[in-house]
Structure 1
């Protein structure tokens, strides 16, 4: 008979998250003495596309670059305490990620660590063949001129449950849905059916609240003087306590900073929800329209009245395309009359693009410290700014170009301002990066067969 309470901890909310965050979570799970699991959500839509580009460059790359750092301190204690670790850290190359985990396990003296590889999310062939309808929200996007990089379907929790049923210690997947990473260990522990919509809704809400890591424990929420949090340099990552009767409490790792209160929970619960009564995941449609939140202790918030509806017949697919090139250049001015010098510098940079006849699709200049985030491409805000003059201003030139060379030449114009610009100009830097375009498709779930392979670290390492 399953224990009434199960804990789910989160160790990462995006690629590049704090690598020291998982250990306090694991220690808290172990100290509880309760059955537990940890998951790591390290993928965004652009992250997958960039991972595919890395895989093209190196067949052994294309998975979460911080994988070894995230797992290194926790792999042995997690196995010793029978706490499975799940993650979509496979990105574009789950087999390579599984090999990396196996290598790490061998170094840690864990040759019998059981590693599950979940495959099947790559549906590039279906998109390349024009077999999938475009999602209605992206119907107006014409990608005919761009080269397809890859297409990945958001798979649900069922193959992850299959991996746990085979006693996997570590589950390596590619593009899963974020909530599926929490649904899977809960469904496995409590024996949920995959048509028990209210139970799956509980799991989806758990995953949704935890998926972004510290966003639910004070990160992003933090606004000094208005919404303060304790010890922000040591924000604790979240843990969910789920009970068989439908109870859900969100808390965080012991002896860490940050906080969990009604405000942090509400902000994360509403994050990315277009329709609170109809949040679509591959496993269930979550309805939070009647949800009630309750502070039940320090850093403890309970959620009630979560409801589920039948899952959709289709899965979302994100197709990634090679786009144009982004060129960025920055240079600073400081001291008296900085605003006038910054405006003049921005105008000269934009004029230089015309003088040189570069093939630029779009260009804009921003005066960071005056107006940038909320400005338009024509610089209306910094041109009309009449507030206090900053002590220093960073001028940013950004261009979109069809070729790397045009983007590079445009962004390098900031360097010339060190000698050809106004007085007191310095600190130039520039870079060029490929732009990734994405478009969403839909695919019938039966067209996305998954496969689960469970092997020991010793078997994988050969």
Structure 2
């Protein structure tokens, strides 16, 4: 068993940059590279794509990421673990094999699946957020359970170099190689808690290297145009040192680590994952050098008897229209345009939203600021049960070009189907992760 492994995180969401993962694979001296590319709505949208085309449903950037990374993974003997399989890990694995054959490289790819529990759920199952049956949310299109380390461990034991999963809890992607390499038992909840802390610190990639942390006034971060993503030297006892590749932008320090530690944590005493109920209150962070933070502590207790399930449903169609006003009286002209639209559309769209971007669009107030903005972008949005009805919103905004007020320009209009998300729980005993191995 190893005493230390190095794990890098090359992506923190589906649309993340490709470059940082390449830098990690090329210069990071990694044992493992993790690409964390799923969120609740991401997988529901992936399920929608798979319904339209059974060969799709994996991450839209999978091909570009793998094409650039595969030669480096082979050259530097790095194992890749990613949830880019989204709604179709098997199809994603086949695509990776196709890319490997085109590049003339030999690689073993494992698809981990079993998280799709759509057929296991009754529409009468209660949603956590509303307390009402799932079917009352709208037409259900997906249900994916947050699996833990088990499927990934099976794939690691099968010696797969690339492991592509569906919905697996984010920290589990990082915890699995720790268990595999250190010989931890997954009922040692103290170690499961420690490993989960490390995974949680890494999972958002650029968060801990200063990306989401940065504020040019209060928290300046250097060279953000070439922001590096993090890696961790993880030790057998469950401690770790978080750092980044030398020469990349950003910063890893006590502040960035603390912010990421608390990110999305409602109760630090009981952070639920499929592998452990972790306790973050015993974590100790210490700067040990430039761009180095030592992580110790953290613990856990047992594991939940249920999996959380993310359920996607067809919520509504959203119609939007935007138009810009600039110069003297920009806000006044935009407000007049808003009043015109409201009078024409409010009866049809009771929840019509009108924003004055540059004045009050984010916080819905100007906090008493009476200065007059030089430019304003009017945004109008409304929702309905079909695309045809909401299309009129953009049409009405476009009509302001010649129907006034003066000086409007740069119109854009959109119609999108919005996928909603609710959650529920399912007995974990009813769900078994599965793996399928492919060779190039």
Which TM bucket (shorter chain)?
A: over 0.9
* Alignment match of 1:79 (pick from 68, 71, 74): 74
Alpha-carbon deviations, 1:278-328, whole Å to 9, x = none? 000000111111222100010001122211111111110011111111111
The answer as to whether partners of 1:90 and 1:96 remain within 8 angstroms in 2 is yes
The answer as to whether partners of 2:191 and 2:237 remain within 8 angstroms in 1 is no
**Residue of structure 1 equivalent to 2:142:** 150
* Alignment match of 2:127 (pick from 110, 131, 134): 134
Deviation at 1:73, TM superposition (A): 2.0
The answer to whether structure 1 residue 237 and structure 2 residue 234 are counterparts is no
Paired with 1:234 and 1:29, the residues of 2 have a C-alpha distance of 15
**Residue of structure 2 equivalent to 1:191:** 183
Alignment CA distance shift 1:370-1:307 (3 Å): same
**Residue of structure 2 equivalent to 1:456:** 439
**Residue of structure 2 equivalent to 1:325:** 317
Paired with 2:230 and 2:154, the residues of 1 have a C-alpha distance of 25
Deviation at 1:79, TM superposition (A): 2.3
* 2:197 aligned counterpart, secondary structure: helix
The answer to whether structure 1 residue 442 and structure 2 residue 425 are counterparts is yes
* Alignment match of 1:121 (pick from 115, 122, 143): 115
Deviation at 1:242, TM superposition (A): 0.7
* Alignment match of 2:41 (pick from 46, 49, 52): 46
* 1:72 aligned counterpart, secondary structure: helix
Paired with 2:232 and 2:132, the residues of 1 have a C-alpha distance of 40
The answer to whether structure 1 residue 431 and structure 2 residue 423 are counterparts is no
The answer as to whether partners of 1:43 and 1:91 remain within 8 angstroms in 2 is yes
Paired with 1:370 and 1:154, the residues of 2 have a C-alpha distance of 40
CA RMSD of aligned residues (A): 1.6
Alignment CA distance shift 1:216-1:145 (3 Å): closer
The answer to whether structure 1 residue 415 and structure 2 residue 415 are counterparts is no
The answer to whether structure 1 residue 204 and structure 2 residue 203 are counterparts is no
**Residue of structure 1 equivalent to 2:351:** 362
Alignment length, in residue pairs? 440
* Alignment match of 1:181 (pick from 173, 179, 203): 173
The answer to whether structure 1 residue 273 and structure 2 residue 273 are counterparts is no
Paired with 2:204 and 2:137, the residues of 1 have a C-alpha distance of 34
Paired with 2:121 and 2:422, the residues of 1 have a C-alpha distance of 10
Paired with 1:54 and 1:417, the residues of 2 have a C-alpha distance of 35
* Alignment match of 2:58 (pick from 59, 63, 70): 63
* 1:412 aligned counterpart, secondary structure: helix
Paired with 1:424 and 1:301, the residues of 2 have a C-alpha distance of 54
Paired with 1:58 and 1:40, the residues of 2 have a C-alpha distance of 24
- TM-score normalized by structure 2? 0.97
The answer to whether structure 1 residue 399 and structure 2 residue 382 are counterparts is yes
Unaligned runs of 5+ in 2: none
The answer as to whether partners of 1:42 and 1:89 remain within 8 angstroms in 2 is yes
* 2:336 aligned counterpart, secondary structure: helix
- TM-score normalized by structure 1? 0.92
The answer as to whether partners of 2:25 and 2:73 remain within 8 angstroms in 1 is yes
The answer to whether structure 1 residue 340 and structure 2 residue 332 are counterparts is yes
Deviation at 1:412, TM superposition (A): 2.1
* Alignment match of 2:363 (pick from 374, 382, 385): 374
Alpha-carbon deviations, 1:342-364, whole Å to 9, x = none? 1111111111214xx53x25111
The answer as to whether partners of 1:37 and 1:84 remain within 8 angstroms in 2 is yes
The answer as to whether partners of 1:146 and 1:321 remain within 8 angstroms in 2 is yes
* 1:11 aligned counterpart, secondary structure: strand
Unaligned runs of 5+ in 1: 376-380, 458-462
The answer as to whether partners of 1:217 and 1:237 remain within 8 angstroms in 2 is yes
**Residue of structure 2 equivalent to 1:295:** 287
The answer as to whether partners of 1:362 and 1:401 remain within 8 angstroms in 2 is no
The answer as to whether partners of 1:329 and 1:414 remain within 8 angstroms in 2 is yes
* 2:424 aligned counterpart, secondary structure: strand
* 1:218 aligned counterpart, secondary structure: coil
**Residue of structure 2 equivalent to 1:378:** none
Deviation at 1:8, TM superposition (A): 0.7
Paired with 1:306 and 1:206, the residues of 2 have a C-alpha distance of 9
* 1:327 aligned counterpart, secondary structure: strand
